[in-house]
Structures are given as C-alpha cells and as structure tokens.
C-alpha cells in the first residue's frame, strides 16, 4: 500500500498531519516531528504577544503632570517644557477661590494674563459660588486645572465643602495637568498645618481643625522663599518644619512633577 503524508492548514498557522498511513514506528516519528513543528510555530507567536502586552501596559500607565510655583507670572515661560506637553489651544479651569477675600489680588490677574499669553483658553471656575454640576462639568472637560494663591485654609475648606477636593485629586491622578500657585501649591501636600506661619488659619475659617491636604504629592512646598513680602514667614516655615520633606522655592522657581521625577525649575 502506498504510504503518504498530507498537510492541512489550520487556525493559528499550525500545520497538522492527516490521512497518513505508516507503521507504528514511523507513526511515532511523525508525531515527534509534528510536536516540534507546533513548538516552533507557537513560540514566536507567544513572544510577539508578550511584547505587545508590555507595550499596551506601558501606554496605559498614567503619568502625573504637576507644576507648582510661588508666582506663576514669573515662571510661566518654562511651564510647557517642564511638563513636556504642548499647551496652545488647551482649556484650563481657572480657580481663584483662595483669593476672593484677599485685599491684594493682582497676582490673580497676572496669572490669568500669563495663561492667555501661552495660548491657553481660560475658563473661570470660582468653586464657592458655582453649582456642583457646573464644577464637575468644567473640571471634567478641561485639559488643565489652575488654582491661584490666597488663603490656604479658606481654599482647603471650600474644596472640601464643594467636593472639588476629591474631583481634582481624581483628575490629577488620571494625568490631567495641575498648575498650583502659592496656596494652590501648598494644598497638594499631605498636611497643610505647616502653612500657619504664612496664612491665618482662623480669620476666614473659624474653628478650622482638619489640616489634611490633598496628598497628591509626598513633599511639602514652601513658597515665596526670600521673596517680598514673605521673607520672614517663609523662613519660619522652614525652621519649624525641618523634619518634613520640604521643597523650597522662590518667586522665580517652580517644582515640576512628571511621573516620579521631581525637579525645581528656574524661570526665564
């Protein structure tokens, strides 16, 4: 009887033998050959699949992008390069809440003008006056979040009261750019009690006792160091809190956080 081997194409590019007649000894040899063919075909497929899985995981990893400063107008020129993303045409939720009871607020206007100059589209969001639905809509739709300076404790109170604290933490955790100026920088620390020498924690928030910060960063920004009119206050903060992981910046410096990298940048 004529002996033959017939190959047939199956799914996954594996070739199998069918309809062959042979002795028991030769049949065993064919089975060994078939097994080796399957191994050789299967291994490259698995290797490619593993590589693709690693690439997908890498692209799905969220990277925090945070820019913290004392005076945004003085360091705005290094924002884009510091966070490694283009900014022109992007929308920014502009939150001036910390300043609404302050006598001097020129820094708010300067910050807004600096954002305009970078080509960002500014959407005002004063969280103490808007509805929760409006707040969530703006924070969800914007590309960046900006919180200006003012009273750190009043700001933290309003963030908690409106629920904006949780929403902002979630958005930043997903990779949305956060820009914090002065009080807007200090609230990202694990705890804001260290800011008591820079801001009155009772005048706008009587009975304020919960000093928990957003905890988005593990360090404690010290803003306005050696910068008028906060020279003495900033030095007190540093002296009293030397046990904390402080990040000290002047008005001409910013802290850039990109993923796990934390770098102090100089304004131009």
Where in the sequence numbering do the catalytic residues fall?
182, 224
Residue 197 near residue 237 (C-beta atoms within 8 A): yes
Place of tokens 């997908």: 56
Question: Residue 118's Cα: distance from chain center in Å?
Answer: 20
SS3 content of the chain, % helix, strand, coil (to 5): 45, 20, 35
Alpha-carbon gap, residue 57 to 49, rounded angstroms: 12
3-class DSSP state for residue 89?
coil
**Cβ 5 vs Cβ 17: under 8 Å:** yes
Residue 160 burial by Cβ neighbours in a 10 Å radius (0-12, 13-18, 19+): middle
Length of the chain: 268
Strand partners, 121: 91
Q: Is 130 exposed, middle or buried (0-12, 13-18, 19+ CB in 10 A)?
A: middle
């Amino acid at each position: 009887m004529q002996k033959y081997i017939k190959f047939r194409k199956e799914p996954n590019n594996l070739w199998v033998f069918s309809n062959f007649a042979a002795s028991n000894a030769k049949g065993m040899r064919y089975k060994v050959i078939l097994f080796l063919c399957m191994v050789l075909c299967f291994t490259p497929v698995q290797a490619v699949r593993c590589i693709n899985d690693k690439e997908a995981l890498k692209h799905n990893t969220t990277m925090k992008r945070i820019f913290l400063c004392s005076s945004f107008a003085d360091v705005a020129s290094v924002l884009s390069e510091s966070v490694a993303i283009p900014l022109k045409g992007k929308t920014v939720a502009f939150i001036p809440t910390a300043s609404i009871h302050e006598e001097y607020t020129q820094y708010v206007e300067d910050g807004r003008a600096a954002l305009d100059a970078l080509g960002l589209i500014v959407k005002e969001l004063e969280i103490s006056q808007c509805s929760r639905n409006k707040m969530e809509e703006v924070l969800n739709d914007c590309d960046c979040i900006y919180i200006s300076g003012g009273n750190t404790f009043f700001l933290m109170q309003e963030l908690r009261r409106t629920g904006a604290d949780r929403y902002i933490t979630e958005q930043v955790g997903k990779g949305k750019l956060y820009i914090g100026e002065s009080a807007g920088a200090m609230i990202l620390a694990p705890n804001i009690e260290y800011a008591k020498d820079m801001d009155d924690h009772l005048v706008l928030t009587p009975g304020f006792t919960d000093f928990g910060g957003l905890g988005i960063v593990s360090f404690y920004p010290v803003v306005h160091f050696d910068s008028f009119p906060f020279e003495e206050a900033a030095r007190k903060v540093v002296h009293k809190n030397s046990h904390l992981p402080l990040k000290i910046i002047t008005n001409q410096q910013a802290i850039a956080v990109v993923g796990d990298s934390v770098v102090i940048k100089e304004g131009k």
